[in-house]
Amino acid sequence: MISRHDPQLKSFASDNYAGVHPEILRAIADANGGHQIAYGDDVYTEALREVFQRHFGERAQAWPVFNGTAANVVSLRAMTAHWEAVICPESAHIHTDEGGAPEVVGGIKLLTVPTPDGKLTPELIDRQAWGFGDVHRPQPRVVSISNTTELGTLYTPEEIAAVCAHAHDRGLLVHLDGSRLTNAAAALDVPMRALTTDAGVDVLSFGGTKIGLLYGEAVVVLNPEAATGVDYLRKTFMQLSSKMRFVSAQFEALLSGDLWLRNARQANAMGQRLAAAVRDIPGVELPRPVEANAVFAVLPREVTERLQKRFRFYTWNEATGEVRWMCAFDTTEADVDAFAAAIREEMR
């Protein structure tokens, strides 16, 4: 089979655009050959339990799924009864970019809160944490946050601990959308459990695709009392892979050593390099600090349109002209420099 694309071509649209890390491909090949029990009773999935516990504590239980939407929906459904609701930022991925899956597929009511930076605080949670016992209002049950957020910002361990403590005091559980948790941990130079288990998070959606996997995310229950029926829900929501060994082998390769950290550091470093390269270009505005691998910028519309013919990236806000540039684990200094040069050229 011939390649149908230019393997040298890079974009800044999404870290999902990147290919598969070579070490992940080798892990898939190593897991191939012969027969293994299907549906998660294979030796690779069994080994994966210990790998996740090494990062998130001995009570952590991990269930691989196909994608991030499923990880979020299965997690939130396992944490809520049908009359209960989830509090989240207005900019949360589960609200803006899941195609309505939490509501349509999961039957989960989302109670959104406007935030200036994509982050919830105890005070912001209380804007929706009310009406307990009122049969006319969905009952708040879960607070869902993301790290990194949809706006590229980071929660520190202390900020997450404050959110969790306040939520638990109100009788609420905490879910963390960790599609880019590796990037957050690398940027803050802390273990992933410092942003999850140690801070009080109950259930985690752990991302793999954006950091080098072919496919696969995981529902990680950190507090077994917080979620029930994940085994059954995963099947009900069509997320039980028959050949699960190939998902689990990828996670083992990512997490058993430092591959997750190397990949995240590379993506973050390229985000910082891109921000530094464009910050002094007249007419380019960076509306918020670059904290991981996402760079947001405001450009003239005509410049954006010309640039998008040369490099793929997304317009974030049509009204303001804000765009988003994402760096991936395979983004190189040469890629960043070429893109920055194109921005400078088009801005002239």
Task: Using the predicted structure, report yes or no on whether residue 132 has a pLDDT greater than 80.
Answer: yes
In a domain, 15, yes or no: no
**Using an 8 Å Cβ cutoff, are 276 and 289 in contact?**
no
Strand pairing category for 139-146 and 84-89:
parallel
Helices 245-255/43-56 angle, 10° precision: 30
In a domain, 10, yes or no: no
In a domain, 13, yes or no: no
Task: Using the predicted structure, report yes or no on whether residue 243 has a pLDDT greater than 80.
Answer: yes
310-332 confidence digits (pLDDT tens): 999 999 999 999 999 999 999 99
Task: Using the predicted structure, report yes or no on whether residue 292 has a pLDDT greater than 90.
Answer: yes
Which phi and psi (to 5°) does residue 312 adopt? -80, 135
Structural domain for 323, as ranges: 259-347
- Please indicate, yes or no, whether residues 219 and 338 belong to a single structural domain of this protein: no
Strand pairing category for 84-89 and 109-113:
parallel
- Please indicate, yes or no, whether residues 212 and 281 belong to a single structural domain of this protein: no
Question: Which domain CATH number covers 302?
Answer: 3.90.1150.10
Task: Using the predicted structure, report yes or no on whether residue 1 has a pLDDT greater than 80.
Answer: no
What total number of domains does the chain contain?
Answer: 2
What's the one-letter identity of residue 71? A
Q: Please provide the distance, in angstroms rounded to a whole number, between the alpha carbons at the two ends of the chain.
A: 43
- Please indicate, yes or no, whether residues 225 and 281 belong to a single structural domain of this protein: no
CA-wise closest residue to 109 among 85, 139, 143, 141 = 85
- Please indicate, yes or no, whether residues 26 and 137 belong to a single structural domain of this protein: yes
**What are the E-state strand segments in 287-346?**
294-298, 314-317, 322-326
140-183 confidence digits (pLDDT tens): 999 999 999 999 999 999 999 999 999 999 999 999 999 999 99
Q: Whole-angstrom Cα distance, residue 211 to residue 22?
A: 12
- Please indicate, yes or no, whether residues 290 and 248 belong to a single structural domain of this protein: no
Question: Which domain CATH number covers 86?
Answer: 3.40.640.10
Out of 218, 235, 255, a domain closes at 255
Burial class for 175, CB neighbours closer than 10 Å (0-12, 13-18, 19+): buried
In a domain, 7, yes or no: no
Task: Using the predicted structure, report yes or no on whether residue 186 has a pLDDT greater than 90.
Answer: yes
- Please indicate, yes or no, whether residues 226 and 286 belong to a single structural domain of this protein: no
pLDDT-based confidence at 264, cuts 50/70/90?
A: very high
pLDDT-based confidence at 5, cuts 50/70/90?
A: confident
What's residue 23's pLDDT?
Answer: 98
What's residue 192's pLDDT?
Answer: 98
- Please indicate, yes or no, whether residues 214 and 279 belong to a single structural domain of this protein: no
Residues 299-304: contacts with CB under 8 Å, at least 24 apart:
299/323, 299/343, 299/347, 300/347, 303/343, 303/346, 303/347
* ω into 148 cis (within 30 of 0): yes
Q: Whole-angstrom Cα distance, residue 245 to residue 153?
A: 34
DSSP-based three-state secondary structure for 63: strand
H or E stretch at 140: strand 139-146
22-63 confidence digits (pLDDT tens): 999 999 999 999 999 999 999 999 999 999 999 999 999 999
The whole-number average pLDDT for the span 182-193 is: 98
In a domain, 199, yes or no: yes
- Please indicate, yes or no, whether residues 248 and 275 belong to a single structural domain of this protein: no
Burial class for 292, CB neighbours closer than 10 Å (0-12, 13-18, 19+): buried
What's residue 270's pLDDT?
Answer: 98
What's residue 81's pLDDT?
Answer: 97
How high does pLDDT run on average in the chain?
97
In a domain, 2, yes or no: no
Out of 220, 255, 290, a domain closes at 255
Q: Whole-angstrom Cα distance, residue 131 to residue 141?
A: 11
User: Got the DSSP string for 319-334?
Assistant: TTTEEEEE--TT--HH
Burial class for 214, CB neighbours closer than 10 Å (0-12, 13-18, 19+): middle
The whole-number average pLDDT for the span 210-227 is: 98
CA-wise closest residue to 31 among 78, 64, 6, 69 = 64
CA-wise closest residue to 212 among 151, 258, 143 = 258
- Please indicate, yes or no, whether residues 267 and 225 belong to a single structural domain of this protein: no
Out of 200, 226, 255, a domain closes at 255
What's residue 6's pLDDT?
Answer: 87
Going across the sheet that includes 84-89, the strands are 61-65, 217-221, 203-207, 173-178, 139-146, 84-89, 109-113
- Please indicate, yes or no, whether residues 69 and 201 belong to a single structural domain of this protein: yes
Going across the sheet that includes 294-298, the strands are 294-298, 322-326, 314-317
In a domain, 12, yes or no: no
In a domain, 153, yes or no: yes
- Please indicate, yes or no, whether residues 48 and 166 belong to a single structural domain of this protein: yes
- Please indicate, yes or no, whether residues 314 and 201 belong to a single structural domain of this protein: no
